Structure 1
Amino acid sequence: MAKEHIVLFPFMSQGHIIPFLSLAKLISERHPTYTITLLNTPLNILNLQSTLPPNSNIHLKSLPYRSSDFGLPPDRENTDSLPFPLVLSFYQSGESLATHFTHFVSDLTRQNHDTPPLLIVADVFFGWTAEIAKRLNTHVSFSTCGAYGTAAYFSVWLHLPHAETDLPDFTAPGFPETFKLQRNQLSTYLKKADGSDRWSKFFQRQISLSLTSDAMICNTVEEMEAEGLRLLRKNTGLRVWSIGPLLPSLPPNSSLGRSGRKSGMEVSYIMKWLDSHPPGSVVYVSFGSIHDTAAQMTSLAVGLAVELATRSCGHSGRRFGGNRNRNSNPNGVPDEFEARMRGSGRGILIHGWAPQLEILEHESTGAFVSHCGWNSTLESLSRGVCMIGWPLAAEQFYNSKMVEEDWEWGGTCEGSGGGVRSEEVERLVRLVTEDEKGSDEENEQYDEMIGGYEEKGGEGSLSGQLIKFIGMESQ
């Protein structure tokens, strides 16, 4: 007898793998008789092995991949270990998995009494999977971002409206005229895109192919992004299911991160350091795994140093806890800044992965300077920590815009990217940390939208949406 099988295929980046893994675990809990297979490249699969319990109905399957075939350094299978100039080549290399993906799906169907998978849920960066999976009448795209950010990102890349005007602001097709985007809210490579460049060709192809899917799922909550979901549904013409928030739980092994990565510093040491500081007095800084620049780090260091120096060491003093990927620009954080933090005891710098959930959950953490990746945005909101947005790429600019303008949950550094002045960092740290954390009323509001939504039963809950989605899309 054929078994129900769901295949999940995230793009090779932590920001994509983490919500896919959360989705796999959620499906496993709600449908324990199903078999779930999560596909990826060998090193990513190796890192994920420690995240699953024994006898899980979630299977991990690696597809052959050799980064050196694409002019990339050996054993680079994830954006977290990749210099930015190589990122586009890495993105493009993903389509080399098509043959292996086709063979896997064909073998799986044959082994399951010629019954294809119930669902194939693939990353929007793997839009090419739609052509393969739709031959079996089963394909769903998964945007690991929010609805608002996804809708804006799709619109800007597909239409390049900024290329048609010299004005500093413009309207994205499919959005109301009152919705204005700023040219300085675009990444450097998007500002230069004209439709004939490699970046445009990659994103326009993957997005267009994703739009041929049967449906799309989005890691968001209906109550939190009602307008964003309305725009995404209207602009794509797809059925869009909000199945979020896909928030990872604290890992049972505190030395490992959400996707099996080991923390760059002992978690117990970090927690002890946080315990030694008053509630709401620590500024946590993390920009994700790529895109950090020397100019960005210098502005950050100078701005925080001024803020640290002008406050007393008492309750109002700000402390700094930072995360810097060990593979980022080695000239990023000035050596004297790190030495000053270490000597004063008022800051720590984590090289490599940081235990972000534990840090955000700690009562000493009062603000989060973030690139506004969607996972970080959801985690910050759910833990009641206000954000200082420093968007760098992708849909981060639109996330930061929503956090500041719609949710009023923090501020955005003017200038963005490496163009942010140190004075701007200082100003926003002062502004956001005036209150130790979000007010009780605000915390309750976002807990209702995010944390509480996950626990409720019924059709409107996360589990209810998931069951409804699987039932409808498998018919």
Structure 2
Amino acid sequence: MGNHYEGQTQLPDTELVVVMIPFLVHSHVHQLFHLSKLISAYNIPVHFLSTANQLDQFHSRTGPAVSNSLIHFIELPTDPKFANCVDIQGLLETTLHLRNPVADYVQSLSTRSRSVAVVHEHLMSYVVQDVKAISNAETYMFHPLSAFDTFWRFWEMFGRPFEIDDSELLNRLPSIQGTFPPELMDFVKLQSRYMDFHVGELFGTSRVVEGEYVNYFERQEMNNRNVKIWAVGPFIDVDNDKVASVTISENRHECLRWLDLQPPNSVIYVSFGTIIANFSDKQIEELAIGLERSQQRFIWVVRSGDIVDKHSTNPNTTDLPIGFEERVQGRGLIVRGWAPQIEILGHSATGGFLSHCGWNSSLESLWMGVPIATWPMHSDQPKNAFLITDVLKTGLPVLDWARRDELVTRVVVEDVIRRLMNSADGDEIRKKAGELGEATRNSMVDGGISRKEIESFVAYMKRTI
């Protein structure tokens, strides 16, 4: 295997260099990129390693915002037979074949740096296993999901090593059944064999939001090697000139110009992220009619992946019910394709978010103080939704995970939207969301708890130089 990497340039020797190794999914790449930006602010060079496909996707979505002279994007060579795989098995196979390229690259950096800190996702533990043989390199494991979801999975894996403070909560937690495909669970088990040499663990959350569950990871029963723990998030890329702007400009996205014309807290934003939601035609119809009958203003971001009827001959259709768009014209806005989610959530007209509860979307909504109507689909989303509705109390459930195989009817959709947007209960939830949003934003300013954690992490990495 050669040692040439696309994007590698002749870089100067340095005291400390950080290597970022995300899992090969856009939302995960997104998180570690923003952590890279935070670290580079301390004048530390960061080498961001991923495949050409993932970096191309990332740059196409992020554009010029990625420009940073201290962040170097490195394309790792991959086996050509996995280059165009889009299924989960192909993704996992591609990941496993990154072991040698990663080891080669870290080894090359170690000869030009006094110290190399490798920050890798827990799902890349197998890939970084050879780093422990490099004398001036050390690894830090990053958890991209909520501390709440991560804790419960590790707590079970450790054999429930201690009683939790709220034992009644355990009886109400969503089941893990149906959350992850079997091949991914096997992949996770493989990673667990290589999680015994990192010197620290990072969480993309704030102790303001999930302090209790971050603290659980610091207990001896969960941390018998006494590794350092930091909560260094949330990673929200906010342009203050765009967020919450009320100035009408032709250069802004159409949905933001539409929001400018709506009353405060009057619009519910509907989006199910970038991952296919597997909604049937019937479920889309129920969602659409529920939105219509709620009489609430809304923005609905419809992507081709949101509408997938398993029995349809055209699985990429984005057809909505006949006449729906005409009937809601003026009150509802349909956006097909990309939408500026941060700016939408930060707009004064936005008063609620109907979401799948992916962790990035959940944090963005929490950051902006926007309450969530929760509709989880898979993976960590059911527990994220539970965290929002039952622990933080900043949302209402649309989908009960125990009834996930049932159709969510228009009556349920209408009722939850009305309660969230136009009721005393909704006002109280919105107030709590606003208070938590303010506390979360304050955690990332100078002197805030998350900012101090970032500074502590940087200082710890520098102890070796």
Deviation at 1:450, TM superposition (A): 0.8
* CA–CA separation in structure 1 for the residues paired with 2:228 and 2:198: 9
Question: In structure 2, what residue type is equivalent to 1:285?
Answer: V
Which residues in structure 2 correspond to 1:37-56 (within 5 Å)?
37-49=47-59, 50-52=63-65, 56=69
Aligned length: 422
* CA–CA separation in structure 2 for the residues paired with 1:438 and 1:75: 48
Task: Tell me which residue corresponds to 2:303.
Answer: 324
Deviation at 1:41, TM superposition (A): 0.9
Deviation at 1:54, TM superposition (A): 5.1
Segment drifting more, 90-99 vs 419-428: 419-428
Segment drifting more, 208-217 vs 94-103: 208-217
Deviations 1:367-424 (A, max 9, x none): 1111111111111011121101111222211111111111110112233445342133
* Alignment partner of 1:65 is 2:78: yes
* Alignment partner of 1:239 is 2:239: no
Task: Tell me which residue corresponds to 2:458.
Answer: 470
* CA–CA separation in structure 1 for the residues paired with 2:40 and 2:342: 22
Counterpart contact for 2:292–2:328, Cα < 8 Å: no
Relative to structure 1, the CA distance from residue 183 to residue 142 in structure 2 (aligned partners, 3 Å threshold; closer, same or farther) is closer
* CA–CA separation in structure 1 for the residues paired with 2:241 and 2:40: 18
Task: Tell me which residue corresponds to 2:293.
Answer: 309
Relative to structure 1, the CA distance from residue 199 to residue 23 in structure 2 (aligned partners, 3 Å threshold; closer, same or farther) is closer
Deviations 1:11-59 (A, max 9, x none): 1212211111111111111x12x21111111133234453456562111
* CA–CA separation in structure 2 for the residues paired with 1:447 and 1:327: 28
* Alignment partner of 1:25 is 2:13: no
Which residues in structure 2 correspond to 1:70-85 (within 5 Å)?
70=82, 75=84, 82=86
Relative to structure 1, the CA distance from residue 415 to residue 173 in structure 2 (aligned partners, 3 Å threshold; closer, same or farther) is farther
Segment drifting more, 434-443 vs 40-49: 434-443
Task: Tell me which residue corresponds to 2:239.
Answer: 250
Counterpart contact for 1:7–1:39, Cα < 8 Å: yes
Task: Tell me which residue corresponds to 2:139.
Answer: 139
* Alignment partner of 1:9 is 2:21: yes
Which residues in structure 2 correspond to 1:114-129 (within 5 Å)?
115-117=114-116, 119-129=117-127
Deviation at 1:183, TM superposition (A): 8.1
Deviation at 1:359, TM superposition (A): 1.1
* Alignment partner of 1:221 is 2:203: no
* CA–CA separation in structure 2 for the residues paired with 1:61 and 1:322: 32
Counterpart contact for 1:386–1:437, Cα < 8 Å: no
Counterpart contact for 1:285–1:321, Cα < 8 Å: yes
Task: Tell me which residue corresponds to 1:367.
Answer: 352
* Alignment partner of 1:383 is 2:383: no
Task: Give the match's secondary structure for 1:128.
Answer: coil
The sequence identity of aligned pairs, in percent, is 22
Give TM-score scaled by structure 2 length: 0.80
Task: Give the match's secondary structure for 2:233.
Answer: coil
Task: Tell me which residue corresponds to 2:413.
Answer: 425
Give TM-score scaled by structure 1 length: 0.79
Task: Tell me which residue corresponds to 1:347.
Answer: 332
Deviations 1:294-333 (A, max 9, x none): 33x643541441342353xxxxx33342242558636477
Relative to structure 1, the CA distance from residue 359 to residue 441 in structure 2 (aligned partners, 3 Å threshold; closer, same or farther) is closer
* CA–CA separation in structure 2 for the residues paired with 1:210 and 1:427: 45
Counterpart contact for 1:390–1:412, Cα < 8 Å: yes
Counterpart contact for 2:294–2:415, Cα < 8 Å: no
Counterpart contact for 1:5–1:35, Cα < 8 Å: yes
Deviation at 1:215, TM superposition (A): 1.3
Counterpart contact for 1:400–1:412, Cα < 8 Å: yes
Deviation at 1:211, TM superposition (A): 5.0
Counterpart contact for 2:48–2:72, Cα < 8 Å: yes
* CA–CA separation in structure 1 for the residues paired with 2:359 and 2:306: 22
Segment drifting more, 36-45 vs 329-338: 329-338
2:446 aligns with one of 456, 460, 471: 456
Deviation at 1:108, TM superposition (A): 1.4
Which residues in structure 2 correspond to 1:110-189 (within 5 Å)?
110-112=111-113, 115-117=114-116, 119-136=117-134, 137-156=137-156, 158=157, 176=164, 177-180=167-170, 185-188=175-178
Task: Give the match's secondary structure for 1:322.
Answer: strand
Counterpart contact for 1:187–1:392, Cα < 8 Å: no
Counterpart contact for 1:385–1:438, Cα < 8 Å: no
Deviations 1:166-203 (A, max 9, x none): xxxxxx6656343325686435265xx8xxx5333211
Task: Give the match's secondary structure for 2:118.
Answer: strand
* Runs (5+) with no aligned partner, structure 2: 1-12, 244-250, 309-313
Deviation at 1:474, TM superposition (A): 4.3
Task: Give the match's secondary structure for 2:198.
Answer: coil
Question: In structure 2, what residue type is equivalent to 1:154?
Answer: F
Counterpart contact for 1:370–1:391, Cα < 8 Å: yes
Counterpart contact for 2:143–2:204, Cα < 8 Å: yes
Counterpart contact for 2:17–2:45, Cα < 8 Å: yes
Relative to structure 1, the CA distance from residue 275 to residue 185 in structure 2 (aligned partners, 3 Å threshold; closer, same or farther) is farther
Task: Give the match's secondary structure for 1:5.
Answer: strand
Root-mean-square deviation (CA, aligned residues, Å) is 3.1
Question: In structure 2, what residue type is equivalent to 1:453?
Answer: S
Deviations 1:334-381 (A, max 9, x none): 724375125632333333332110111122222111111111111101
Deviations 1:82-123 (A, max 9, x none): 5xxx224313421111111111111112234xx341x11001
Relative to structure 1, the CA distance from residue 472 to residue 446 in structure 2 (aligned partners, 3 Å threshold; closer, same or farther) is same
* Alignment partner of 1:230 is 2:238: no
Counterpart contact for 1:216–1:239, Cα < 8 Å: yes
Question: In structure 2, what residue type is equivalent to 1:3?
Answer: E
* CA–CA separation in structure 2 for the residues paired with 1:339 and 1:103: 58
